[in-house]
Structure 1
Amino acid sequence: MGRGTGRGPRPRAGLAPLVGPLRFLLLSSFLIPLGSFMVLPFMSVFLHERLGMGLGTVGVVLAVASLVQFSGGIAGGALSDRIGLRRTMLWALIVRTAGFMGLLLALRWPPLAVGALILTCCGAALYLPANKAYLIHGVDDERRPAYLSAGNAALNAGMAMGPLIAGPFVLSSPGWLFVTATALFVAVTAGHARLPSTGDQPAAPGTPRQGLLAGVALLPFAANALAFYLYFYFQHFLALYAVEQASTAFYSLVLLLCFALVIVVQPLASGLISRMPYGLALTVGFAGLAAGLAVLALGTRPALLAGGALITLGDIVLFLKNDLEALHRSPRSDAVVFGQQRLAAGLGAFVSGVLGGLLYGLGERVGDTGSFWLLAAAQCLLLPPLLLTLRRRVVRRHDPHDYDEGALPHHDTDRRIPGR
């Protein structure tokens, strides 16, 4: 699967000259979230204001949709193993296009809206593991961080542009908005149909099927779940806090800063993050989250900007490093590994939404929402050491000669897991 051999001169890290299919895939990594984020960030407003759903119902619908979109990635990875990467991406886009068509029809028949939203999330769940695996198929270890970072930068650029384009039209002209998003997905789907069948090597008939979590890299899986759990305190509840402390316009500015940092910083820092020992990366990443969440508690406009920046820098390290370590440690295919990591992300985000909602509501009732962020920051300092302590105890119990989880060299080919 494109791992380095450890012999001869190593290729220079970074992006090699990209062939047409990879350029198209990176362009798609921008266009797909562009189309999605022209619609999805406004779904709470659309469902409540346009379709008349109660806020309690809207909250349940969005929670289920988020869980499907993240955790369903494990099914996308498994499907890629069965039918191949290109076919999985193609079917995922067909499903997602049908979802956006359903949202358009929901303007005439509102009950379709919930099913259409879930359908778009199913398509996203199936697509992303195959997309990432296709992007790095046949790529040497030294270049993988750069390719993944380029994909993440394109993704965040689309996520940043979508709401800016759609904001003025979401309530006044949602029909045209849904038509535009659907047309964009039709075009991207047609382009994927012309991609080479790279990685389309489905399992041979009679091959034993492995469980969805077989071969999971436990520490990267758990660390990813914890990282998303803590990050989604910021993702879920910053809007409420920022609008209260500043304004909706300033909240949009904070989001733009966060997107810009991912787009610019992660590709530049990808090599450094790849070389960083895993224990150090976890320390740096969770410390960034802790510092950013604590700064948010000040509640001033500069604090909102600084807190958002620190949190984003922390998640840049955590999210990329956890993926790289999972790829390195697991014997499963790249698509399955990405799917397992998406499952971890979904579980963390879901728990954050449920528990965070209770805690933020408590802060509102006592008139001190700043304490919510201090409590989240404290968890960033207390939970990661507990995770590492529990992991070391498990490792010692099962294999006292196993390596140190915090100091695994990423390119030590003599200690690679067989089959990778």
Structure 2
Amino acid sequence: MVERAAREPGLRAALFPLPGPLRFLLLSSFLIPLGSFMVLPFMSVFLHERLGMGLGTVGVILAVASLVQFSGGIVGGALADRIGLRRTMLWALVVRTAGFAGLLLALRWPPLAVGALVLTCCGAALYLPANKAYLVHGVDDERRPAFLSAGNAALNAGMAVGPLIAGPFVLSSPGFLFAAVTALFIAVTAGHLRLPATEGQHATKPGETARPGPLTGVAILPFAANALAFYLYFHFQHFLAVYAVEHASSAFYSMVLLLCFTLVIVVQPLASGLIRRMPYALALTVGFTGLAAGLALLAAGNRTALLVGGALITLGDIVLFLKNDLEALRRSSRSDAVVFGQQRLAAGLGACASGVLGGQLYVLSEHTGNTGWFWLLAAAQCLLLPPLLLVLRRRAAQLPVPDGDHEGALTR
């Protein structure tokens, strides 16, 4: 075990030397969420304040958009499997650029805003599975966590910086903001034209002779664990803003988010090798325990609890989200793009369920006069629901392995 650890590359050795196409892809992984998060976090304010839509309507629009953005990844993975990674990324960026241009036009014709928002989410759904698969194409198993975590760090950095840049312009100069983001996406799309094509190189894994459906060969346990992790994490993502503003301030809520983004950017790349070596059962235990501790701590409602609770939740999701992706790649016989698409579908189902069920729980806790109960109930779910994965694991292990599929793609 010691010898094996000594042979494994450190973070720097795993990533470098980095070829030019991958350097550009990592830069794009920062620029794309940077542009997106200059707009998307403020859409509720923009639709309600600027375009005059009711909050009920805005909520439905954002719920549909979120479901499309996450669950549409299954389509993105299947498309990449058919036409190749670079072509899929290009089409995705064209769609997303059209969406941001549509938001600019919506300033003159407001009904166009809904279709434009959905277009941006469709583009995101198509892009991310192909992006992740291109990033790890040809990379050996020991180096994959470093590349995936570097991509996640770039993505989170863009998500953190985007709102800081755009905040002053959302209501005062939205036309300038939408035009700038559209121009950014045009430039990023042009850059993707120069990426080497990957068609025919890894659209399918060895042994795949036909193109099965997008859900064929799904790695059941990582899929279910990912859905559950996103369901529990999105209690924090969906409802912390309301809770934090009530108990602290909107400025302090921004500080909590900045801390969470910073932890992902710094900790996940450094811990990627450790997470890869960690047994899957241990990773699930550590991750869900971190979520439970952080959610329970939020119930205290003070500023220290918000900061420490947010940090624990983020550390838990760092382990869960990366390990579930790595396990899905290891256990499935499908192409990388399809696997990432399947995991995005799981994330979308979990996030959607969190919005629906979590919203009802939050309303109930408000009726009791103490919204801290919402976080305690969420924490309890972190402890009570994960053991169901063990039942799923046992049942999956009893399924027959198809001939020639020694990885047990449908079962493990």
Letter of the structure 2 residue corresponding to residue 27 of structure 1 = L
Residues 200 and 130 of structure 1: is their aligned pair in 2 closer, same or farther, counting only changes over 3 Å?
Answer: farther
Match of 1:260 in 2: 262
Letter of the structure 2 residue corresponding to residue 12 of structure 1 = P
1:12 corresponds, among 4, 9, 13, to 9
In the TM superposition, residue 368 of structure 1 has moved relative to its aligned partner by 1.0
**3-state SS of 2:385 partner:** helix
In the TM superposition, residue 248 of structure 1 has moved relative to its aligned partner by 0.2
Q: Which runs of 5+ in 1 are unaligned?
A: 1-8, 403-414
Residue 216 of structure 1 contacts residue 330 of structure 1 at CA under 8 Å; is this kept in 2?
yes
Residue 286 of structure 1 contacts residue 314 of structure 1 at CA under 8 Å; is this kept in 2?
yes
Cα distance in 1, alignment partners of residues 270 and 155 from structure 2: 16
Cα distance in 2, alignment partners of residues 334 and 382 from structure 1: 32
Match of 1:175 in 2: 175
Instruction: Write out the 4+ residue segments of structure 1 that deviate beyond 6 Å after TM superposition.
Output: none
Cα distance in 2, alignment partners of residues 390 and 145 from structure 1: 26
Cα distance in 2, alignment partners of residues 10 and 283 from structure 1: 27
Letter of the structure 1 residue corresponding to residue 21 of structure 2 = P
Q: Which runs of 5+ in 2 are unaligned?
A: 1-5
Deviating more after overlay: 207-216 vs 32-41: 207-216
Deviating more after overlay: 159-168 vs 356-365: 356-365
**3-state SS of 1:53 partner:** coil
1:303 corresponds, among 277, 280, 305, to 305
Cα distance in 2, alignment partners of residues 394 and 173 from structure 1: 54
Residue 225 of structure 1 contacts residue 345 of structure 1 at CA under 8 Å; is this kept in 2?
yes
Deviating more after overlay: 309-318 vs 385-394: 385-394
Match of 2:386 in 1: 384
In the TM superposition, residue 391 of structure 1 has moved relative to its aligned partner by 2.5
Match of 1:246 in 2: 248
In the TM superposition, residue 10 of structure 1 has moved relative to its aligned partner by 6.1
Superposed CA deviations along residues 221-270 of structure 1, whole A, max 9, x for unmatched, are: 00000000000000000000000000000000000000000000000000
Percent identity at matched positions?
82
Match of 2:79 in 1: 79
**3-state SS of 1:102 partner:** helix
Residue 86 of structure 1 contacts residue 200 of structure 1 at CA under 8 Å; is this kept in 2?
no
1:47 and 2:44 are equivalent in the alignment? no
Cα distance in 2, alignment partners of residues 47 and 73 from structure 1: 25
Superposed CA deviations along residues 103-142 of structure 1, whole A, max 9, x for unmatched, are: 0000000000000000000000000000000000000100
Cα distance in 2, alignment partners of residues 386 and 417 from structure 1: 21
Letter of the structure 1 residue corresponding to residue 349 of structure 2 = L
Cα distance in 1, alignment partners of residues 345 and 103 from structure 2: 26
Cα distance in 1, alignment partners of residues 129 and 374 from structure 2: 33
How many pairs does the alignment contain? 394
1:333 and 2:331 are equivalent in the alignment? no
**3-state SS of 1:195 partner:** coil
Cα distance in 2, alignment partners of residues 394 and 72 from structure 1: 26
Cα distance in 2, alignment partners of residues 394 and 324 from structure 1: 18
- TM-score normalized by structure 1? 0.91
Letter of the structure 2 residue corresponding to residue 191 of structure 1 = G
In the TM superposition, residue 361 of structure 1 has moved relative to its aligned partner by 1.0
In the TM superposition, residue 390 of structure 1 has moved relative to its aligned partner by 3.2
1:232 and 2:234 are equivalent in the alignment? yes
Residues 361 and 351 of structure 1: is their aligned pair in 2 closer, same or farther, counting only changes over 3 Å?
Answer: same
Letter of the structure 2 residue corresponding to residue 267 of structure 1 = P
In the TM superposition, residue 153 of structure 1 has moved relative to its aligned partner by 0.1
Cα distance in 1, alignment partners of residues 390 and 382 from structure 2: 13
Match of 2:96 in 1: 96
Residues 3-402 of structure 1: pairs in structure 2 closer than 5 A: 12=9, 14-199=14-199, 201=201, 208-396=210-398, 398=399
Residue 260 of structure 2 contacts residue 310 of structure 2 at CA under 8 Å; is this kept in 1?
yes
- TM-score normalized by structure 2? 0.93
Residue 34 of structure 2 contacts residue 162 of structure 2 at CA under 8 Å; is this kept in 1?
yes
Superposed CA deviations along residues 355-399 of structure 1, whole A, max 9, x for unmatched, are: 011110111122110000000000000000122123313423x35
Superposed CA deviations along residues 324-375 of structure 1, whole A, max 9, x for unmatched, are: 0000000000000000000000000000000011110111122110000000
In the TM superposition, residue 416 of structure 1 has moved relative to its aligned partner by 4.7
**3-state SS of 1:141 partner:** coil
Superposed CA deviations along residues 10-57 of structure 1, whole A, max 9, x for unmatched, are: 663521311111000000000000000000000000000000101010
Residue 72 of structure 2 contacts residue 344 of structure 2 at CA under 8 Å; is this kept in 1?
yes
Residue 87 of structure 1 contacts residue 200 of structure 1 at CA under 8 Å; is this kept in 2?
no
Q: RMSD in angstroms over aligned alpha carbons?
A: 1.8
Cα distance in 1, alignment partners of residues 238 and 187 from structure 2: 32
Cα distance in 2, alignment partners of residues 63 and 387 from structure 1: 27
Residue 136 of structure 1 contacts residue 144 of structure 1 at CA under 8 Å; is this kept in 2?
yes
Letter of the structure 1 residue corresponding to residue 52 of structure 2 = G
Residue 231 of structure 1 contacts residue 315 of structure 1 at CA under 8 Å; is this kept in 2?
yes
Letter of the structure 2 residue corresponding to residue 51 of structure 1 = L
Cα distance in 2, alignment partners of residues 77 and 186 from structure 1: 23
Residue 137 of structure 1 contacts residue 199 of structure 1 at CA under 8 Å; is this kept in 2?
no
Cα distance in 1, alignment partners of residues 396 and 145 from structure 2: 29
Letter of the structure 2 residue corresponding to residue 194 of structure 1 = R
Residue 74 of structure 2 contacts residue 341 of structure 2 at CA under 8 Å; is this kept in 1?
yes
